[in-house]
Structure 1
Amino acid sequence: MNPVADLAAVLDSAGDLIAGIARWDKPTPCPEWTVRELVNHLVLGHRLFTDVLRGAPGGSLDPKSEDVLGADPAAAYRRAAAKLLAEFGKPGVLAGQYTVPAGSVPGAAAARLLGTEHLVHGWDLAVATGQKPAFDDTVVARHIEFSQAKIADLPPGRRPFAPPVPVAGDASPLDRLAALLGRSPN
């Protein structure tokens, strides 16, 4: 499957979760961030990757460095996601090589990294806000496979999430991905 099509599906479902948020000050499984800060981090990530794909230096991912959400966080998320997907859709981008926070990767891997991040942070948002995420299990399974193959390649200082934790054998694909990347779905 095309990694950009998967990313688009993930961003759309994450956008639905974000649109359903009623309280932005709630804590998340990311102990240092509230719901608003976590969504701000995602939008900063959209901007960083969009810039990197354009050949410009990326900005900060620290949600406390700048608030880019404004009065309508869900709309800010969707606008940034649309710009990101437009950049990924340009000819040659998937084959290009880019330096992102996880290191130097081809464009296709950058799309998978972003999809994985949004799936896990979508899981975080769902837990924090009591929503049921609607990510496609088949897409999640592709991100599990990608993450299992790539996690060992990352230097310890560049791993974006915590070490894997055990998960029940009958866990959903999203819970399995969350556990692979250090979340505790139990």
Structure 2
Amino acid sequence: MSTVQDARPQYRTALAQLERLFAAVNPADLDRPTPCDEYTLRQLLNHVVGGIHRFAFIGEGGRAADILPGIEDPSDDGWPAALARAAARATAAWADDAKLGRPTFAPWGEVPGAMAVGGYVMEAVVHSWDIAVALDGGFALDDELAHTALAVAELVLPPESRVDGVPFGAVLPAAEDADVHARLAAWMGRKA
């Protein structure tokens, strides 16, 4: 990735997609299982909001290792507001174009800011799929975002990187006619 693109517009689109999904969650849904085997939907929402705060923190100059990707759970109907606060913080933290070229201390190491943004696009899009599946599908997810996330995933998470300690399962096969969301899920080790 010699020239890193500015993925902030895609990140904002990914946040908008998450906002639509969070708005569809009812308190009765919060204990549902998700494609992330270790998370219920409540735990996944917490991870997503906490991850956005972590992304904001590194945009503000912090090191990812210094903050946990989680929050104190809001009320059962408070998830959309919690997401909105995190999204506003992340958008503000990454507004300065100069941050794209600066060293950033992401969870996976020191990288230029633009690469951190790309990694968090991937995170937001993958977890959007997870949430949509937990809510029984029926959501039209953004194909262009999924293509961007898959390109990032293929670059930064090659099959040989799936070793102990990496929070992604082995790449799974995807059907020849699988859509981009199913291919992304398979690349991330999720059964579509």
Which of 9, 23, 29 does residue 35 from structure 2 map onto? 29
Q: Secondary structure at the match of 2:47?
A: helix
Shift, 1:135, TM fit: 3.0
Percent sequence identity over aligned pairs: 31
Judging changes above 3 Å, is the alpha-carbon distance between structure 1 residues 134 and 115 closer, same or farther for their aligned structure 2 residues? farther
| Map of 2:112 onto structure 1 | 106
TM-score, with structure 2 as normaliser: 0.86
Q: Distance in 1 between matches of 2:72 and 2:92?
A: 23
Paired AA for residue 132 in structure 1? G
Between 8-17 and 83-92, the greater mean CA deviation after superposition: 83-92
Root-mean-square deviation (Å): 2.0
TM-score, with structure 1 as normaliser: 0.88
Between 131-140 and 107-116, the greater mean CA deviation after superposition: 131-140
| Map of 2:175 onto structure 1 | 168
Shift, 1:155, TM fit: 7.8
| Map of 2:15 onto structure 1 | 11
Q: Distance in 2 between matches of 1:175 and 1:32?
A: 20
Judging changes above 3 Å, is the alpha-carbon distance between structure 1 residues 126 and 33 closer, same or farther for their aligned structure 2 residues? same
Paired AA for residue 7 in structure 1? Y
Paired AA for residue 74 in structure 2? L
Q: Distance in 1 between matches of 2:45 and 2:93?
A: 21
Q: Distance in 1 between matches of 2:82 and 2:188?
A: 27
Q: Secondary structure at the match of 1:93?
A: helix
Between 68-77 and 102-111, the greater mean CA deviation after superposition: 68-77
Instruction: Give unpaired runs (5+ residues) of structure 1.
Output: none
Q: Distance in 2 between matches of 1:120 and 1:103?
A: 20
Judging changes above 3 Å, is the alpha-carbon distance between structure 1 residues 95 and 158 closer, same or farther for their aligned structure 2 residues? farther
| Map of 2:138 onto structure 1 | 132
Shift, 1:85, TM fit: 1.5
Shift, 1:154, TM fit: 5.4
Shift, 1:157, TM fit: 4.9
- Runs of 4 or more above 4 Å deviation: none
Paired AA for residue 2 in structure 1? D
